[in-house]
Amino acid sequence: MNGILGRNKSKKQSRSPSAQSVESLPDLPDRPVGNGDANISDTEYARKRKQLLELTKDLRAMGAEKLIALPRIAVIGGQSAGKSSLVEAVSGINVPRDSGTCTRCPTECTMSSDAETWSCQISLRFDYDEHGGTRSMVGQDTIPFGPRITNKGDVEIRLRQAQAAILSGNSSYTHFASMSAQEVRELVRSDPDVVKFSRNVVMVDIYDPGATDLSFVDLPGLIQFESDEMIDRVRSLVESYISEERTIILVTIPASDDMENQQAFRLAKAADPEGKRTIGILTKPDSLTSGATSAREKWKEVLEGRTYPLRHGYYCVRLSDDAERARNISRSEAQHIAARFFDDTAPWSEVRDRGRFGIPNFVADISKLLMDVIEEAIPDLKDQVKKRLAACELQLGKLPKPLTVDPTHEILARITAFSAELRAAVSGEVDKKFVQDNRASYGVFKGDIRATAPDFRPYLNGTQHARPSTPGGRSDEALEDGRDHLQRYETLDLADVRQVIKEATGWELPHHVPYDAQLTLMKRFIALWEAPAQECFETVFATLSEFMNALVRKHFERFKSLDLLMRSLVAGHLNHCKERASQSLREALALEEKPVFTQNTHYLSETRVKWFNHYNNCYRMQYYPNPDPSPFEAELQVMAQVRAYFQVSYKRIIDHIPLTIERSLNRSIADSLQADLIRDVGIGEADSFGRLKELVSEDPALVTRRQQLEGMKRRLVDIQQKLNNFLV
């Protein structure tokens, strides 16, 4: 609020020196107290003021206040602070008066002088639902509550009925029109379906040729003798209004109580710490007896700005008492009585700034201040609406367009696109990530198989020797790359291999190594391959499952029923394909079990010679430096043969298992799923249209969201046009 509420203005010449520390309200012509209705003549300013007031009224009627912060005046105060009397004196109408709390919802009062005769229209605006949440932008918000009133005496009962309608959540005028004031009181007091307070609004539009153009909202009085929940609810309501930076806060302060006891003033101070947009309204000055000299002096200091200073200062009003209201005195007479009171009664008669007394001065000043705030806010309001409209259009653009094609065509197109993207991913034609993730899994599998290589140590006590290097001097560290949770080939030294040969010997002739000894050692590493193969398969399946679930969301999530069906169908086909692929994996592993065979004999022989020479050299360097024959030559030959066969079968299995998984799992489901889904959904069946139409019915939440955004966009466009067309 660094604009109109914060800028310096010249002070009235009649202001006392002590009041000069408080910034004055916008300058207006000097007015003697008691000059009758505060009506500014039909000048250019009056015309502009009417336009500005009409603009904000129209904007509120269009629901702009849900979207942007509009300038307004909020009247707050505690119970028995004279707030109702102030509203009556300003508006010229009688409002409901009961012991305790009589205002239980915000009441927006707009006074317009653009009329030939007096009339009043009461309406209801439901901005909030029954749970206190903001209602959507769709639908009518402002509802006329009965016909226009032409007799002032009918306003009070209509206001009671309107407030009861707000509290009960029922906008029907006819439902409440026949209720008396007592019946309304009883309804509000005893009906369990009627809430005690509401954020929804009663709107009072007064058309009075003798009025000063003004708009304000009268908020429920701050309560003390209610449940903690009710006290907090009312305080929260007041805080929500006065926290807005464009809200002028009018605090009604009864002179019958100390300033330190004013809860409303403390709330205003919290919302407006520097007092830039708060105005104090001192009520009940006639409650101070002539003997209350200390209290009178304190309030004089407040009024003159020497204590509790506010940028726009304080006003003091004398409102009609019960006897005067009973005599039904006119507004002019009430103002004349008040003027005489302030002129004849100390300490009010001692205050030099006479513009601080009386309803006419107060109304004229705050009216001008409100209009200046509105006028200055218009450029920023335009900018806010422009930004909100851009954000709304952006959100709308992210939502899918309403379905306009045949449901069969829509579902078929989505299944086709879904299946095509799956095939492209499996083939690595477009998005390479799916293939790259699988290749990474196959790389891990390769390392796991590598780690199952026979751990032969050509020594008499292999546990005391590290694994030897590979032929050619390369380190065999790669054999240690397998992960700890997978089983590896046991460490075997010369004695262990000799024992295997011994256990395999039957009727063989001396110096003949039985084939079963080699076969036993070969089957030991072959048996270790099932675990890493199965783990690789599960990892690839998880990648496939996650990818397909993401594809289902991408292509079918818009339609909840279709999405649920596709999730179920895809999950079923995935599991069925997994069972078939698992069988293919088992068959691929079984090929290595029996027979132990290869036609790659050249590589086998070459590798066997290399490993024999390697093992033999390791043994001789440790035990027999001379070239004499080794006593463990048979064992070394077995080690070399088994290790060579591992090399042959290792190179075969690290390709064969990934290819089996790709063919039986990824490729299989990618190639067959489109036809399966079309069949399962029933596209082409004679009675499928109604069922397919149901499948592509949009999620109600999505429909609601689109309607909300479209309604918001229409409203923002209307508001933008209203602001852009406004010319002062």
Tokens of 343: 């002129």
Domain hosting 556: range is 428-598+652-697
In angstroms, how far is CA 94 from the centroid of its own chain? Answer: 44
Give the position of tokens 């299946």.
419
Domain membership of residue 713 (yes or no) is no
What is the predicted pLDDT for the residue at 627?
Answer: 56
Q: Are strands 201-207 and 107-112 parallel, antiparallel or unpaired?
A: parallel
**Domain final residue pick, 349, 369, 394:** 394
State the burial class of residue 313 (Cβ atoms within 10 Å of its Cβ: 0-12, 13-18, 19+): buried
Q: 220 in a domain, yes or no?
A: yes
Handedness of CA 360, 366, 368, 371 (dihedral sign): negative
**Integer CA distances (angstroms), 153 to 120, 173, 506, in order:** 11, 18, 124
Q: Residue 395: its pLDDT value, please?
A: 93
Distance separating alpha carbons of residues 243 and 5, to the nearest angstrom: 15
CA distance linking residue 89 with residue 484, whole number of Å:
88
Task: Tell whether 288 and 366 lie within a shared domain.
Answer: yes
Mark whether 201 and 341 lie in a shared domain. yes
Residue entry with tokens 């190594």: 513
pLDDT score for 515 = 94
262 with 155, same domain: the answer is yes
Residue at 558 is within a domain: yes
The two beta strands, 119-125 and 142-144, are antiparallel
**Can you give the pLDDT at residue 327?**
86
**Phi, psi dihedrals of residue 271, rounded to the nearest 5°:** -80, -30
pLDDT, residue 29, reads 36
Q: Is residue 403 part of a domain?
A: no
The reply to whether the predicted model has a pTM over 0.75 is no
Could you give the CA distance from residue 514 to residue 497 in angstroms, rounded to a whole number? 12
Residues 120 and 259 in one domain: yes
Residue 529 has a pLDDT of 97
What is the Rg, in whole angstroms, of the alpha carbon atoms belonging to the chain?
45
Strand-strand pairing, 201-207 and 119-125: antiparallel
**Ranges of the chain whose pLDDT falls below 50:** 1-41, 138-140, 477-478
In a domain, 409, yes or no: no
Q: What CATH number did the domain enclosing 672 receive?
A: 1.20.120
Tell me: do 370 and 495 sit in the same domain: no
Q: Are 536 and 414 in contact (CB under 8 A)?
A: no
Q: Is 514:638 a contact under the CB 8 Å cutoff?
A: no
Residue 315 shares a structural domain with residue 367: yes
Residue 646 lies in a domain: no
| Residues in the chain, overall count | 728
Together in a domain, 477 and 355: no
683 in the same domain as 572? yes
DSSP 288-343: S-TT-HHHHHHHHHHHTTSSS--TT-EEE-----HHHHHTT--HHHHHHHHHHHHH
Q: Which residue type sits at 342?
A: F
Contacts of 213 (CB under 8 A, 6+ apart): 46, 49, 50, 53, 111, 112, 113, 114, 367, 371
Q: Would you say residue 355 lies in a domain?
A: yes
Rounded-to-integer distance, Cα 45 and Cα 31, Å: 17
Q: Can you name the residues that pair with 97 across neighbouring β-strands?
A: none
* 373, 394, 415 - which closes a domain: 394
Q: Residue 327: give its domain's CATH number.
A: 3.40.50.300
Six token digits for residue 350:
């001692």
Residue with tokens 């250019």: 44
Domain count, the chain: 2
What was the pLDDT predicted at 134? 67
- Report yes or no on 721 lying in a domain: no
Residue range 276-288, pLDDT digits in tens: 999 999 999 998 8
Note whether 66 and 147 are same-domain residues.
Answer: yes
How many beta carbons lie within 10 A of that of residue 572, not counting itself? 12
What DSSP letter does each residue of 511-532 carry, written as one string?
T---HHHHHHHHHHHHHTTHHH
Residues 342 and 478 in one domain: no
Closest to 236 (Cα-Cα) out of 225, 223, 248: 223
Residues 507 and 381 in one domain: no
Alpha-carbon span 206 to 87, nearest angstrom: 13
Which residues does 567 contact at the CB level (< 8 Å), separation at least 6? 549, 552, 556
Cα dist. 355→276, 280, 295, 330, 530 in Å? Answer: 20, 14, 22, 22, 98
Q: Are residues 438 and 390 in the same domain?
A: no
Place of tokens 């249209």: 689
Question: Is 316 within 8 Å of 302 (Cβ atoms)?
Answer: no
Residue 391 has what pLDDT? 93
DSSP string, 101-147: ----S-EEEEEE---SS-EEEEEEE--B-TTSPBPPSSS--EEE-SS
3-state secondary structure 225-278: CCCHHHHHHHHHHHHHHHCCCCEEEEEEEECCCCHHHCHHHHHHHHHCCCCCCE
Q: Give yes or no for a contact between 425 and 431, defined as CB atoms under 8 angstroms apart.
A: yes
Question: H or E segment at 374?
Answer: helix 359-398
